[in-house]
Amino acid sequence: MASDTTSTAAGAAIDAAQTANVFPPLDPSTFSSQLIWLAITLGGLYFVLSRIALPRIGEVIEERSDRIQRDLDEAERLKNETEEAIASYEQALAEAKGKANAIAQTTRDELNGEVEAERTRIEAQLASAAADADKRINASKAQAMSSVKDVAQDTAQAIVSRLLGTEVTADEAAKAVASQS
């Protein structure tokens, strides 16, 4: 029995030495209590997360989602306003171009009318001046022609007088010049 007691005392000493060297979470003697505390801790964590943290996180996510949707709606509204402003600008620009073209055409027509009136006036003035010049030319021509007859008569009278040595009358010289023309 003494050996029994020694072996038991030695076994208990070995068990105590082994127990002292065992990592506490892996100690089989505390395993059941560790499972209970694990279940209680996970249950408490689940309760805290499901009742407090997750609803707050859900609210934040929902608020962000709502804010993003509002921002997208605002961006769409601003985009539509911009497109309307661009369309309005292009329409106003087209109207302004049309008005400018109309004004330019009106001005062009007025200037063409003024130019045409001035050209007609100048053409009439030139035609009048040309008619006056023709009258003066015809008068000068007629005067020159009558002067030519007189000069021809005088010249013929002088030539015949010198060649023949006799005096020729003005009537005779006029008849001779008239027969040659």
Q: What is the pLDDT of residues 53-98, one digit of tens each?
A: 889 999 999 999 999 999 999 999 999 999 999 999 999 999 999 9
Residue 15 is predicted with a pLDDT of: 59
d(CA 42, CA 33) in angstroms, rounded, equals 14
Give Cα separations from 158 to 57, 144, 165, 179, 180 (angstroms).
143, 20, 10, 18, 17
* Higher local confidence (pLDDT), 130 or 154: 130
pLDDT above 70: residue 26: yes
Q: Residues 29-33: what's their mean pLDDT?
A: 88
Q: What percent of the chain has pLDDT over 70?
A: 88
pLDDT bucket at 10, cuts 50 / 70 / 90:
low
pLDDT tens track for 140-179: 888 887 777 778 778 877 887 887 777 877 777 777 777 7
d(C-alpha 130, C-alpha 171), whole Å = 39
Cβ-based neighbour number of residue 168 at 10 Å: 17
Choose the most confident range, by mean pLDDT, from 18-32, 39-53, 159-173.
39-53
The confidence band for 12, taking pLDDT boundaries of 50, 70 and 90, is low
Task: Give the pLDDT of residue 70.
Answer: 96
155: number of Cβ within 10 Å? 13
Tokens of 143: 């005067």
Residue 65 belongs to what H/E stretch?
helix 54-164
Say which range, 15-19, 99-103, 117-121, 161-165, has the weakest mean pLDDT: 15-19
> How does the average pLDDT of the chain come out, rounded?
85
